Structure 1
């Protein structure tokens, strides 16, 4: 059974001062190294009190990223796509066209200084966004990310539809989440996603939901407001 997500009816992750989060959607494909440099600069500015919190939505060209727990043996095809070693939590994951990446730069000093609660908030954000499309999703004990149950005549399995990998510096978060809207799922074949071999990956399109990035962004924005508060 899927674990119960954080209830956002009265979210502990709202800022007491009600300050809105800057919501930015990048056009085109953003190179990974450029994105990391931008995040680093923004996190430093937020820590210094010189910039507002930001959620930055984008797409990357096809690439793999390796978090701090990544095992080299989980990179199955070393020459397929560029591999970027990164300081976020987690293991190997794929980013590419058709996948919405959201980099989340929030000041947890103003949101309770609770990393575990923050991750639960990210899970609730994703499950709430998927619910906008009628997709029932949830989390699993011992497994990072958001999952869906799939059943057919004589078979059943669980597939991952969204990944979470974050880092916190001086109580400011960065990196974030990725939601599979309509990526090429065969691109995940070059890695063991998040080190998990017994489950697969899926997307909104793979589940029969026809939605573009604009629709996915609208669902993410609506759910984010319920969990984290207003956006600019």
Structure 2
């Protein structure tokens, strides 16, 4: 169930990356001014590489797609068709001023959702993102990169459902050269965007319930 104070938006087709950045910035200002509801926005992008604040230019190996500086945390990542991207414009002033808690809750939301489809995913200490497999089969299936402005969150996550994994070859994904990327389809667990969105929505209350850490007592 989606709370009344959050807009749950699913965009069909491919949303240009620059358009999404402008929309997020405008929404942050509106949420901060109490002029709009918080937002969970699910979409796909045309193929792009995005650079976080820690991006190392040496990790941009083959810029075969447009490259955008984002202002989010993290390094280089890829977005493209077949990947579910989720942008969260949430007010941590009311949900707890604890960015670590927010990121942890976001990880657990994605891990639980992938688990609904039989994919055993996890977070790894010291490595950003969502991981599957062990040993030689270990790979990254999801990325997380967030920014906080006036205690309002921007950006969010991406989960590889069925993107062209070769497109990750133009970068060192998230600055981790020793680990491959994978997808639900590559793991033999195909998931449609609609089914994944429905599972995310079903688990949204659990994600929000994990966010009071850091909240000041009333």
TM-score exceeds 0.5: yes
Whole-Å Cα distance in 2 between the matches of residues 114 and 135 of structure 1? Answer: 29
Q: 1:169 aligns with which of 149, 152, 159?
A: 149
Q: CA deviation digits over 1:8-33, x for unaligned, max 9? A: xxxxxxxxxx7542100011100000
Q: How far did residue 116 of structure 1 move? A: 0.5
**Alignment correspondent of 1:46:** 31
Number of residue pairs matched?
A: 207
Correspondence list, 1:70-85, <5 A: 70-78=55-63, 80-85=64-69
* Structure 1 segments (4+ residues) deviating >4 Å: none
Whole-Å Cα distance in 2 between the matches of residues 228 and 20 of structure 1? Answer: 12
**Alignment correspondent of 2:121:** 137
Q: How far did residue 157 of structure 1 move? A: 3.2
Pairwise CA RMSD:
1.2
Query: Which runs of 5 or more residues in structure 2 are unaligned?
Result: 210-218
Q: Which moved more, 1:45-54 or 1:216-225?
A: 216-225
**Alignment correspondent of 2:78:** 94
Whole-Å Cα distance in 2 between the matches of residues 19 and 111 of structure 1? Answer: 15
**Alignment correspondent of 1:186:** 166
Whole-Å Cα distance in 2 between the matches of residues 44 and 136 of structure 1? Answer: 37
**TM-score by structure 1 length?**
0.87
- Secondary structure at the residue paired with 1:204? coil
User: Are 2:108 and 1:124 aligned?
Assistant: yes
Correspondence list, 1:1-232, <5 A: 19-78=4-63, 80-150=64-134, 156-228=136-208
**Larger RCO (CA under 8 A, 6+ residues apart):** 1
**TM-score by structure 2 length?**
0.92
Whole-Å Cα distance in 2 between the matches of residues 58 and 85 of structure 1? Answer: 19
Higher share of residues assigned helix: 2
Contact 1:126 1:223 survives alignment (8 Å): no
**Alignment correspondent of 1:5:** none
Q: How far did residue 156 of structure 1 move? A: 2.7
